Amino acid sequence: MLMYKQKKSQAAGIRLLISITVIGSAGPIRFVVNEEELVASVMDTALKTYAREGRLPVLGSNINEFVLYCPIAGTEALGPLEAIGSFGVRNFMLCKKPQAVIEVGEDRKSAAVGITRKNGGSWKSWFNKSINLKVSSH
């Protein structure tokens, strides 16, 4: 009697080949993830892969300093607790959060704070400008 190998169950979820472009880097990072994997986990994997490959510029490994975008879905950053497969796309963009320096207290110590304003100097306008520079009109 022949024994057949049992197929793996679908409980593991669907696996996706995703591509993450890092602003300022030579090319995208590609790796396979489960569609239920969280955005924060994907960002962590992307940063580790980026460092392992010795890419420039050096980014660091703190995922709190970065945001992941889906260029097709708009200019809103993806939430770190969302599933990566819930967006229906496979191409993403990883950007460093812009930092503003403010002086704090009488000692004039400087502290870095994320930019959250919605006017001309916001991170959204910076993101839109960086995308518009890369898109050539024919």
Report the pLDDT averaged over residues 59-67. 91
Residue whose tokens read 């704070």:
113
The CATH number linked to 49 is 3.10.20.90
pTM above 0.85, yes or no: no
- Give whole-number Cα distances, 49 to 22, 35, 45, 53, 126, in Å: 12, 19, 6, 6, 26
Predicted local confidence at residue 9, as pLDDT: 45
103 part of a folded domain: yes
Kindly state whether residues 124 and 61 are assigned to the same domain: no
Asked if residue 14 lies in contact with residue 85, where contact means CB atoms within 8 angstroms, the answer is yes
Q: List residues bridging with 93 in a β-sheet.
A: 21, 69
Domain range spanning residue 66?
13-97
* pLDDT(19) > 80: yes
- The tokens for 9 are 């169950």
Domains in the chain: how many in total?
2
pLDDT digits (tens, 9 = 90+) for 71-118: 887 778 899 999 999 888 999 999 988 776 666 666 555 555 544 444
Kindly state whether residues 70 and 27 are assigned to the same domain: yes
135 part of a folded domain: yes
Element (H, E) at 93: strand 91-96
